[in-house]
Amino acid sequence: MPTHPGQMAFIGGHKKSDELHPFEVAQREFEEESAHHRDAIKCVGLLRPVYTARGQPIVPVVAELMMDVQTFLQQAKSNGEWDHMIALPWDKINRPEFWNYAEVRSHSTYQILMTTIAAKSYLHHAEKNDADFVLWGATARMVWSYLALYYQSSSRFNHAP
Residue 102 included in any domain: yes
> Which tens digits make up the pLDDT trace of 66-112?
999 999 999 999 999 898 999 999 899 998 899 998 888 878 777 78
Residue 107 included in any domain: yes
> Which tens digits make up the pLDDT trace of 112-132?
889 999 999 999 999 889 999
CATH code of the domain containing 144: 3.90.79.10
Q: What is the pTM of this model?
A: 0.84
The total number of structural domains that make up the chain:
1
| The pLDDT value given to residue 17 | 97
Give yes or no for a contact between 160 and 144, defined as CB atoms under 8 angstroms apart: yes
Residue range(s) defining the domain that contains residue 54: 22-156
CA 32 → CA 93, 98, 109, 127, 129, distances in Å?
A: 27, 32, 37, 22, 24
